[in-house]
Every structure is written in C-alpha cells, then in structure tokens.
Amino acid sequence: MLFSTIHMPRRLWKLALVGTSLLTLALCRPALAQAPSPTPFVRFAELDIDNARLEEFRKAALENGEATLRLEPGVLAFHAVAEKGNPGRVQVFEMYVDAQAYQAHVQTPHFQKFRAQTDAMMLRRELHEAVPVRLGAKKSVPSRPHVRVAELTIDPAQLQAYKDAVSEEIDTSIRVEPGVLAIYSFALKEQPAQLRFVEIYADEAAYRQHIDSPHFKKYVEATKSMIASRTLLEAEPIFLGLPPASKAPAYYVSEFELTDPEGIKPYSAQVEATFKPFGGYYFVRGGQVNPLEGEPAKRIVMIAFPSREQAQAWYDSPQYREIRPIRFRSAKSRVYIVEGARAP
C-alpha cells in the first residue's frame, strides 16, 4: 500500500519468542478476510537474528509455526518477513482471537521448545502490543507473494482523520483489487501515532497496479499533510501463515438435566474460558426446546469449534478436565462431538 523501499526499524522482541513463535507460516493457507469480531489481539515484534544462525532460527521457527497453526485454533495469522538485503532483520506479526488465546499460545510445549532453541540467536528483540487500525485480507496467500512493510509517524492532531482515510483505502483495495491479498494496519499501543503496515500482494505487478489505482492516489493526496515521517521496506517472506480452513467445523453437544442448580454455577462461570482458546463459542446455550418427535432433552448446550480435532483437544485439556467433575456432580449428561458438513 504505501511502499517503495524501506529501512526496517529496530525494536526487537518480546514477541520474538512470544510472538515469533508466530513465525511459522506456511504459504498458501486460507486467509483471514477482514478483522473478526470482537477485535483480535495483535502482537508485533522486531528482531535481529545472528546471521551465522539464521538457517537454524528459520528451521526452529518453521517447526514451531506449523505446530501452532495445527494445534491452536485461537491463532488468526502468523507472518514473518526479513528486510530485503538484510536477512537478519526480522519483523513478526501475530494475530489471535483474544488475549487469552495469546496467553495459551506462550504456554504451549512447542512454543516453549522454540523459545529455548532460539533465545541465544536473538541479538535484539522487542515486543509490542498493537492496536488494530484496519485488518483486511483475502482468503488465501500464494506461495511466492510480494510483501511490503511500512512504519509511519502520524501527526497526533490528525490521527483520527488519517485512520479514517487509510481504512477506506484498505477496504477498497481488498474489495476491488484481486492482487491485493492482505493489508494489516495497526498502531503501537504505547505510541498510538506510530503506525505499522504489513501488506501482501500476489506479485510485484499487483503492487504496481495498486499504487497506480485511483483509490490509492486519493489516499496519498488526502493524507500527505498528516504523515510526519515514513520508512518503507520491501521485505522477503520468511513465513506467511493462516490457519487452515479446509477442515469441517465440529460441535460439542451436551444433553443434560440439572440435579444441583447451585452446584453447577462454578462450572458455568469457568467453562467458556476453557474452550475459547480452542476456537470454541456457544452455538446453543439452553434455549427453549420444542419437541417434535420423541422424548426431548431437558436442556441442550452446543459449542462450535473449527474442527473435530480442536473440540477433542479442548475436552481433553487440563483446564477443562479440572472443572469437569463439577458437571458430573451437578447434572445427568449425555455428551458427544459431531463433525459438521463442509460448506459447498
């Protein structure tokens, strides 16, 4: 979107490890498609990697990333890129369903292994909690995209006007330009006038078409007085990864009859926190049952998950096993996981 040549900033880590785990990314995974609701939790890291150990770092990051995408449904995007011509300078962008999913991520065995392997490889590292401005993406990323990264400082007095203008430009680009695959715009939480961009194009030609588009030129004209400084970078993808969308969804179904309404309350208060990191959400929660045939259940709860594997992983998780006995004591239940149909 706003790129030409760039010199990548230095602030490296905290994310590196808690964010770089993020580095996994396998190209060509289905992509996000506009920011989910509620607003996702975004982390951004800037890293300097020992050039002598760069391949070792990438190997560890790939292993960790693949495990993250396979096992963590709370992860929405993992992108890592290196400054073109300076492969040890790395930027990492991670997006989670919420802060809880991020905390679950940093406690996973694969991330802890990655951290132990790569800690000595980091020459500098800085982590930022980021505030989304606009997060837009298509549903897939090719294996060899063209990536740009930018760092902008915005006049604080014109910050909201700038956000409005860039949001319109991003929305239009994603909607009308087939070659614009993703534009993630976010501010550093500790410095709200410091904005960062990660942009992914099908190829360099798609990027050139983008900067020549009427909506991009309109954006440039509208914001030229708002931008105090900018650093633009052409980047080499290390990993670009989005969670697989090919699996069918799944549903945890519980048909139950309460035997101790007071006793179930601690379970009811805690259970949602156990399944959200696995991508689960309430699909049915005790609504009225209208019997049509046969004997109806007294009460039904359905929790939707991205896949059967993730539903099972939640059910077997230490967090859920800890509270499950409360349900056993307080209700008569029949529970099962059913795989949903794939969309045509």
Say if residues 121 and 67 touch (Cβ distance below 8 Å).
Answer: no
> d(Cα 226, Cα 217) in Å, to the nearest integer?
15
Helices (H), the chain: 15-18, 54-71, 99-106, 109-118, 159-176, 204-211, 214-223, 265-275, 308-316, 318-330
Say if residues 88 and 54 touch (Cβ distance below 8 Å).
Answer: yes
**SS3 (DSSP) at 249:** coil
> d(Cα 72, Cα 92) in Å, to the nearest integer?
18
Q: DSSP assignment, residue 317?
A: S
Q: What's the pLDDT score for residue 168?
A: 96
- Looking at the DSSP bridge assignments, the partners of residue 194 are 153
Residue 211 has pLDDT above 60, yes or no: yes
pLDDT of 267-307, one tens digit each?
A: 999 999 999 888 788 888 887 888 889 888 888 999 988 78
Cis bond leading into 38, ω under 30°?
Answer: yes
Q: What are phi and psi of 144, to 5 degrees?
A: -130, 70
pLDDT of 156-203, one tens digit each?
A: 999 999 999 999 999 999 999 999 999 999 999 999 999 999 999 999
The more confidently predicted of residues 96 and 2 is: 96
Residue 331 CA, distance from chain mean position: 36
Q: What's the pLDDT score for residue 38?
A: 62
**Average pLDDT of the residues in 223-251:** 84
pLDDT of 37-83, one tens digit each?
A: 468 899 999 999 999 999 999 898 888 878 877 777 788 888 888 99
